[in-house]
Amino acid sequence: MGGRTSSTWEKGTCWNGGETTTIRVPIVLKSDILAYARAVDSKLISDKSRNIPMLKGDFLQEFTLGLIDRYIELKRQNYHPNQNSRKLDTSTRAWDELRKFQKLVRESPELLGD
């Protein structure tokens, strides 16, 4: 009673990706999430496309780089000095693959797509 029905929603606000759904997100994130969704949606060519493009400098790139930084910091905080090193050294060969991945996400994220 008194609520919106499908006939009272604004017309003309369609998405290239097809049908939409309602989600609950923190208000502080609403505009960023909507901006990201619109950026991704603008890159979709058809309703059948399920590929989410990696936009240079986008949310996923920043999120991934942030997770890598947080992982390194966690390892640094939990590092136990040994006879070879008193502090965490991420320039060693053991860290090569993570550094390569970090560089790929930072410089060429489009290579991670299909």
| Residue pair 56/110 in contact by the 8 Å Cβ criterion | yes
What type of residue is 6?
A: S
Q: Are residues 82 and 96 in the same domain?
A: yes
Q: 81-99: per-residue pLDDT in tens? A: 887 788 888 999 999 999 9
DSSP three-state, residue 69: helix
Q: Are residues 58 and 114 in the same domain?
A: yes
Domain count, the chain: 2
Q: Is residue 81 part of a domain?
A: yes
Q: 48-82: per-residue pLDDT in tens? A: 445 555 555 577 788 888 899 999 999 989 888 88
Domain holding 107, by residue range, is 54-114
The DSSP code for 102 is: H
Higher-scoring residue by pLDDT: 82, 24? 24
